[in-house]
């Protein structure tokens, strides 16, 4: 960002057959790309919204057989960078479910991953949870609610992506009701592991 660094997270999910789902791809150094390949075969590339398309071509060029998935509402912008294969995200593994976030006109994606250890919710720009922001850039990130003492829906997300607060509120409450929810991964900030369901309910209340 013009005012300073915005930390990013890429999430990699290994399916039952060792194929990999890449959520919000980040271009890596060669040694790190080889580590990814040791983990499994990159097969699916999720571009979770039009803003997070910047490194998609790097991954698609390296793995031309990867299937690119993005929400329908982001498709036209993402296709300026890379061809899109799907807007539904069927990975052949019932434990990994792609969805578009309600109340965003299908412009923001999420993943729900279920295992014997519980459920992990993977979000993108919908929630900011940067905790160590300092200096002028830190001040700006806090003002924009990407950073702070607790998770927030960032102000630019409210302005650009949220089309219906009521629908998004219901979506957050639906996620909060997942009985074995263990953690929330976000693209910008720390992993949310302390009472993730309560965090989602608080975010829903902020939209009331």
The confidence score (pLDDT) of residue 2 equals 52
Q: Collect all residues with Cβ–Cβ distance below 8 Å to 179 and sequence separation of at least 6.
A: none
**Ramachandran quadrant class, 192 (left: phi over 0; alpha: psi -120 to 50; beta: rest):** beta
38-95 pLDDT tens trace: 999 999 999 999 999 999 999 999 999 999 999 999 999 999 999 999 999 899 999 9
Domain 11-205: which CATH number of 3.40.640.10, 3.60.15.10, 3.40.50.2020, 3.10.20.440:
3.60.15.10
Which two tokens mark 94?
């019932």
Q: What is the mean pLDDT of the chain?
A: 95
Q: Is a pLDDT exceeding 80 seen at residue 131?
A: yes
Determine the pLDDT at residue 1: 55
Q: Tens of pLDDT along 76-86?
A: 999 999 999 99
Mean pLDDT over 129-148 rounds to 87
pLDDT in tens, 155-169: 999 999 999 999 999
CA–centroid distance for 58 within its chain: 18
Confidence of residue 3 (pLDDT cuts 50, 70, 90): low
């Amino acid at each position: 960002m013009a005012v300073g660094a915005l930390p990013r997270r890429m999430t990699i999910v290994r399916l039952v057959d060792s194929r990999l789902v890449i959520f919000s791809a980040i271009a890596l150094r060669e040694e790190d790309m080889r580590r990814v390949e040791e983990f499994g075969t990159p097969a699916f590339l999720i571009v979770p919204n039009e803003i997070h398309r910047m490194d998609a071509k790097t991954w698609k060029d390296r793995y031309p057989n990867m299937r690119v998935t993005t929400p329908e509402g982001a498709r036209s912008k993402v296709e300026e960078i890379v061809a899109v294969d799907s807007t539904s995200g069927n990975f052949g593994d019932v434990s990994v479910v792609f969805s578009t976030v309600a109340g965003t006109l299908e412009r923001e994606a999420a993943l729900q991953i279920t295992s014997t250890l519980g459920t992990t919710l993977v979000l993108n720009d919908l929630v900011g949870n940067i905790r160590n922001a300092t200096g002028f850039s830190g001040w700006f990130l806090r003002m924009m609610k990407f950073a702070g003492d607790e998770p927030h829906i960032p102000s630019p997300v409210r302005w650009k992506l949220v089309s219906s607060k009521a629908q998004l509120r219901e979506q957050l409450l639906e996620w909060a009701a997942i009985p074995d929810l263990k953690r929330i991964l976000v693209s910008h900030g720390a992993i949310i592991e302390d009472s993730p369901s309560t965090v989602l309910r608080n975010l829903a209340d902020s939209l009331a």
